[in-house]
Amino acid sequence: MTHQKKLVVLGSTNIDHILNVPYFLAPGETLSAHQYQVAMGGKGANQAVAAGRAGANIQFITALGDDHFGQDALDQFQTDGIDTSLIKIIPHEKTGVALIFVNDEGENMIGIHAGANAHVTPQMLANHWDAIESADALLMQLEIPIETIQQATNHANEHGVLVALNPAPARPLPDELLSKINIITPNETEAEILTGIKVDSAGSAIQASKILHDKGVTVVIITMGKLGAWVSENGVGHLIPGFKVDAIDTIAAGDTFNGVLMTALLEGLPLQETIRKAHAAAAIAVTRKGAQPSIPWASEIDDFLMNH
């Protein structure tokens, strides 16, 4: 039997409270929603779930509150094939929360409260160095303290573990951190915040990618919504279009893309094919409501690719 490469996802878990509204509210306005949904979310958890459902050998490092949401999340992760042995329950703390508006175009606005996610500290990580060392790849986002991301990156780097960063939510990042990232996956907004280049075309994607390569990142993948993904490796870039579907809710589309991308990379697929698979998974996710309820299983991704 061949050894299945191991992915460690380090990041946040949230409970998403989602209101589907006809349009985004103006200050002072009150609006009735078509629907209210409470669903599992959080960028780290969504990416871990996407990897688990896509068939990865995946371990998730996160922190949960000691409320019933934390227990529900833990149960859900186990159902999704995730190794939960390193997940910490924080006494007297709430599980992270996201308040989300989704408009009739399927776009979203998100406010978050860290709760237990703020406890994913370098001290917590100090108990888990061996998990990171024994991984083949580490995937992170930016909903946990930045010092934790920096230390995990340093440690993974020293041990030859591939480091992938989905730099969401958008924020500037120190060059020292970027110099140790092997794969970065910003969307257009995040790419602009990291590079100062407004990314809206192949030309601007080349410029932004060059800045990130010059800072030391090997592979730059800029997700550009309906246009697809700009993929730049060793300075050579091209656009890989996505699939055209009727999007009703884009929550976790990027997370699904990232989780499936890393799963496919660790399976040994060429970069081009991993992006196609990640695009397929994200295309399925945008046709369904919510974060984790929208994330497909491997068989659904395979069926989609056969039919498109």
> Which residue number, 110 or 211, has a Cβ lying nearer to ligand RIB?
110
Q: Does 117 bind ligand RIB (CB under 6 A)?
A: no
Binding flags for ligand RIB, 140-159, as an x/- string (CB under 6 A): ---x----------------
Q: Determine the Cα–Cα distance for residues 122 and 61; give it in Å rounded to an integer.
A: 12
DSSP assignment letter at 144: S
- Window contacting ligand RIB (CB under 6 A); options: 62-70, 195-203, 248-256, 263-271: 248-256
Please identify which residue in 6, 43, 128, 276 interacts with ligand RIB, judged by CB under 6 A: 43
Binding flags for ligand RIB, 265-294, as an x/- string (CB under 6 A): --------------------------x---
Is 187 annotated among the ligand-binding residues? yes
Q: Does 42 bind ligand RIB (CB under 6 A)?
A: yes
Q: Which residues are catalytic?
A: 255
Closest contact distance (angstroms) between CB of 218 and ligand RIB is 24
Kindly report the CA angle at 40 between 165 and 192, in degrees rounded to 5?
30
Q: Determine the Cα–Cα distance for residues 146 and 134; give it in Å rounded to an integer.
A: 22
Q: Which of 221, 218, 9, 17 is nearest to 100 (CA)?
A: 17
Is 61 annotated among the ligand-binding residues? no
Q: Which residues contact 60 (CB under 8 A, 6 or more apart)?
A: 8, 9, 10, 11, 44, 45, 48, 77, 82, 83, 84, 86, 87
Cβ–Cβ under 8 Å, residues 126 and 42: no
Q: Does 16 bind ligand RIB (CB under 6 A)?
A: yes
User: Tokens 């599980």 sit at which residue?
Assistant: 95
Q: Which residues contact 215 (CB under 8 A, 6 or more apart)?
A: 175, 178, 179
Instruction: Please enumerate, by residue number, every residue annotated as part of a binding site.
Output: 14-16, 42-46, 143, 187, 223-228, 249, 251, 254-255, 279, 285, 288, 290, 294
Instruction: Please enumerate, by residue number, every residue annotated as part of a binding site for ATP.
Output: 187, 223-228, 254-255, 279
By CB under 6 A, name the binding residues for ligand RIB.
14, 16, 41-43, 46, 98, 110, 112, 143, 251-252, 254-255, 291
